[in-house]
Amino acid sequence: PFVCPECGKSFRQKPNLITHRRIHTGERPFSCFLCGRSFNQKTNLVTHYRVHTAERPHACAECGKRFRQKVNLAVHLRTHTGERPFRCADCGKGFSQKAHLLRHRRTH
């Protein structure tokens, strides 16, 4: 394994460690030629370009709503399935998004 000397996190592949280390160094080698915003991973830059092009390649099969990022589609799908995978350890209430659980936790 490849271990980060800063935080001890380990990776199976060296390129993943190199990408991770940019979190500690602040290096952002991938820049948007349209607005200048920079990113530490090329995949994040590619996703960012969709802000400028309005491309939304990920469509919901239930309602047709479209999303720039696959993860946002996955979160949206929970509105159709009713899935609430994030549970409060104190009261057991379920939430469809982690951010909603964290906001709820402040009430305890």
CATH 3.40.50.150 fits 58-105, yes or no: no
The count of C-alpha atoms lying within 13 angstroms of the C-alpha of 92, restricted to the half-sphere facing its C-beta, is 0
Global pTM value: 0.66
The phi-psi region of residue 36 (left if phi > 0; otherwise alpha if psi is between -120 and 50; otherwise beta) is left
Please report, to the nearest 10 degrees, the dihedral formed by the alpha carbons of residues 67, 96, 80, 57 taken in order. Answer: 10
pLDDT tens, residue by residue, 4-14: 999 999 999 99
Q: Where are the domain boundaries for CATH 3.30.160.60 in the chain?
A: 2-53, 58-105
CATH architecture of 2-53: 2-Layer Sandwich (3.30)
pLDDT tens, residue by residue, 45-85: 999 999 999 999 999 999 999 999 999 999 999 999 999 99
What's the token pair of residue 65? Answer: 């709503």
